Amino acid sequence: MTATDLAERLRSRLDQAGAAGRTLAFWWRDDDAVAPTPALDRLLALAERHSVPLSLAVIPANAERSLADRLEPTGDVLVLQHGWAHKNHAPADRKSAELGDDRPLEAVLDELSRGHQRMSRMFGSRFLPVLVPPWNRISDSVAAKRVETGLPGLSCFKRLGTADRRLDTHIDPIAWRSGRTFAGWSTLADALDAEIDRRADDPTPIGILTHHLVHDEATWAFMETLLDVAAGHPAARWPHPVEAFGFVHT
């Protein structure tokens, strides 16, 4: 399969949705930002060129003031809180996690509170109080207490279904277990098909998850192809993150 094949397949699915009087919602989250880089410039330009909102998950402990300055002139780019330091605290025999049950709950919540304060000071109104767990893993106890740290929103990966101020991602173009390279056109076309099928009875936006710092050229090409079709199709919409997460403009 090629980029053209994926584009035709996605366009056909959107055409079918439109013919049935339906629309499909999409949203875009990109993880691990801490500073301006050429890759970030490319990401921001891509979002601007296609006029779609972008949610940038920033690591609070490592974020540089220069990142806030770089985002200043951008339009629909909001900042989410990517844990605290993206540091693994899980034992060697378990999957990486920063927000698991491997430390006292109070210590985890204290870091999240400090992160919230730093993000608020650095990014101001651009900061949406949404917690994005590093490695998309979070214990039930931390998830339940996150609101106490000022983070009512939550975003992980592959959790289908609506919930109060929770919005997850579902399509990741990177094959993390195979050299962190592009997952492949056929794999991603099938993944998009599966997510569209699931939306027959569920209005949850389809979340696209990217990591601009590790994109190869094929991954960038996938995002260009996806946005070429879905950003301007009448049966596709890209709700603003404030709307999508259930927050109200103040």
pLDDT at 199: 87
pLDDT at 164: 64
Q: Pinpoint the alpha helices (H) of 20-129.
A: 38-50, 65-71, 105-123
pLDDT at 250: 41
- Confirm if 233 and 53 have CB atoms less than 8 A apart: no
Torsion of CA 222, 227, 228, 234, to 10 degrees: 140
Give the residues of the chain that fall short of pLDDT 70: 159-164, 248-250
pLDDT at 150: 96
- The top-level CATH class assigned to 3-17+24-235 is alpha beta
Q: Using CA atoms, how far apart are residues 178 and 182, in angstroms rounded to an integer?
A: 9
pLDDT at 159: 66
Q: Which residues of 78-89 are buried (b: 16+ CB within 10 A; e: fewer)?
A: bbbbbbbebebb
Place of tokens 């289908």: 160
Place of tokens 């740290």: 149
Cα dihedral sign, 167-80-26-76: positive
pLDDT at 163: 55
Specify the amino acid at residue 176: W
